[in-house]
Amino acid sequence: MRRLMLDLQPARTGLPAWALLACALSLLLGTALLQQGLDQQQAGLEQQLEQLDRQLGKRPQAEPALNAAQSREQAEKLAQMRSVSQQLQRPWERLFNMLEGLPQDDVALLTLTPDARKGQLRISAEARDLEAMLAFHKRLEASDELRDVSLLNHEIVARQAEHPVQFNLSATWENGNAHP
């Protein structure tokens, strides 16, 4: 009979376990580095896309935070835009119709300067004489569109033969829903 040989530990014929562990770790590290590279590449491509979109006008540019001077300037511009908006909302046609409807044989309107925010209107005009200027002032006071009509200044033009009167009036312009 043959001798029995018992070997409780089989002979190792494949790769040792530490080699398999090293391979797994290197694959894991390689995958992490590859993922990081892909993330960086994607971020770069997204930046390029955003830049191209801005150039084409599809995306608004992100505005940086404003300093105090820029904030003041922006607030001033906003106030100017509001003033323009208020002026556009005024009932201009009604004011012009009222002014055109006044008898103006002896008075010529030179300028109208509105301040819609304050509800004020400044009128520069020229009258044939002082009586014509005062009559025009009274007609404006009697109108429905203007109130608190005030004579700011007047000047008799002596260098012209007729001696016309140049004057400036100020009035509060209230009309329906156009309160300041």
Instruction: Report the CATH number that the domain containing residue 159 is assigned in CATH.
Output: 3.30.1360.100
Is residue 72 within a helix (H) or strand (E), and if so which, with residue range? helix 68-89
Determine, yes or no, domain membership for 94: yes
Helices and strands in the chain: count of H runs, count of E runs: 4, 4
Determine, yes or no, domain membership for 140: yes
> What are the pLDDT digits (tens) for 55-65?
887 755 556 67
Determine, yes or no, domain membership for 110: yes
Q: What is the DSSP letter of 165?
A: E
Determine, yes or no, domain membership for 82: no
pTM, full prediction:
0.50
State residue 178's pLDDT score: 43
Q: Which is more confident, 74 or 134?
A: 134
State residue 180's pLDDT score: 41
Determine, yes or no, domain membership for 15: no
**Percent of the chain topping pLDDT 70:** 86
Determine, yes or no, domain membership for 157: yes
State residue 63's pLDDT score: 61
Q: How many domains does the structure of the chain reveal?
A: 1
> What are the pLDDT digits (tens) for 86-132?
666 667 778 888 888 887 788 999 998 887 677 888 999 999 999 99
Longest dimension (CA), the chain: 157
Domain that holds residue 101: 88-173
Determine, yes or no, domain membership for 74: no
Inter-residue contact 169 to 122 (CB < 8 Å): yes
Determine, yes or no, domain membership for 30: no
